[in-house]
Amino acid sequence: MVITSATNLVQELASFRERKTIGFVPTMGALHEGHLSLVRQAKAGSDVVVVSIFVNPTQFNNPEDLKNYPREPEADIKKLKLAGADIIFTPTEKEIYPEPDTRIFDFGAMDKVMEGFYRPGHFNGVAQVVKRLFRLVQPQLAFFGEKDFQQLAIIKALTAQEQLPLHIVACPTVREPDGLAMSSRNLLLSATQRAHAPLIYKTLQEAFGKVNSTTVPALKKWVQTTIDANPVLETEYAEIVDAHSLQPITEWNEADSIQLCIAVYAHPIRLIDNIKLK
């Protein structure tokens, strides 16, 4: 079932709330196997699976990026039906934001680093749309991919701050056979860029193997130097962070759980990835 109206979505879901577990997968469309794996995981753990397709303007700080974001609604709907989605919500901007959204969320230092530093306002826009969608769907479970590691951490923080009665389910990154993390932006890569892009994950894997034999600053520098030696790729950032606070560390003993997060340009396309180091 495809629903475009927020009112109709709420009415449709009202009959399920008392006796059914609602699982929710928010997306911006241009769906790939990574998204569909979230839908299948939701299907396995929920009675009713709701998937939204909405390219959220408030999380784009670059108008060109918003304009060029791939949109394939008909293909997306077909894929979602095959994957087992029960309700596909495809709202217009007016349905999500009947009035301009002026809410400001405070995530402390979590949204000031990495993606938050290079894309100011991005996570406030993410929080705006996710909070709105959570309010409409009222799921017990919501499924997010670990590829967007910082986003996942911030959505968990949002859920805790707002005391929302739902559980955020983290789902593993799905990769192409050559290791490139699946992303809607991969559709925008030229053949040459696509051929070089797997170096990102290859470098992350090699970095994992170096953890016990080098320092944090040296490993960070090695990752950036390795990527930047490629003629097609350019590192925007490579950060080694506490996986909970998202703050950069300088010593391996500073955190129990450590993540290496990276953003790389194959100009003008921007790709992100991450790997657990500890």
Residue 64 pLDDT: 85
Could you list the pLDDT tens digit for every one of the 278 residues in the chain? 999 999 999 999 998 888 899 999 999 998 999 999 999 999 999 999 999 999 999 999 888 888 888 899 999 999 999 999 999 999 999 999 999 999 999 999 999 999 999 999 999 999 999 999 999 999 999 999 999 999 999 999 999 999 999 999 999 999 999 999 999 899 899 999 999 999 999 999 999 999 999 999 999 999 999 999 999 999 999 999 999 999 999 999 999 999 999 999 999 999 999 999 99
Both tokens of 115, joined, read 């993606």
**Which alpha helices (H) appear in the chain, and where do they start and end?**
6-14, 33-45, 63-68, 73-83, 93-96, 115-118, 122-137, 149-161, 191-196, 199-210, 216-228
Helix (H, G, I), strand (E, B) or coil at 123: helix
Residue 65 pLDDT: 84
Q: Do domains 2-171 and 184-273 have the same CATH topology?
A: no
Q: Model-level pTM?
A: 0.93
The dihedral built from the CA positions of residue 91, 35, 208 and 235, taken in this order, carries a sign that is negative
Answer CATH for 2-171 from 2.40.340.10, 3.40.50.1000, 3.90.190.20, 3.40.50.620: 3.40.50.620
Task: Return d(Cα 44, Cα 39) in angstroms, integer.
Answer: 9
Domain 184-273, classified CATH 3.30.1300.10, yes or no: yes
Q: Which residues are catalytic?
A: 35
Residue 63 pLDDT: 86
Strand partners, 27: 53
Q: Domain map of the chain by residue range?
A: 2-171, 184-273
Task: Return d(Cα 131, Cα 101) in angstroms, integer.
Answer: 11
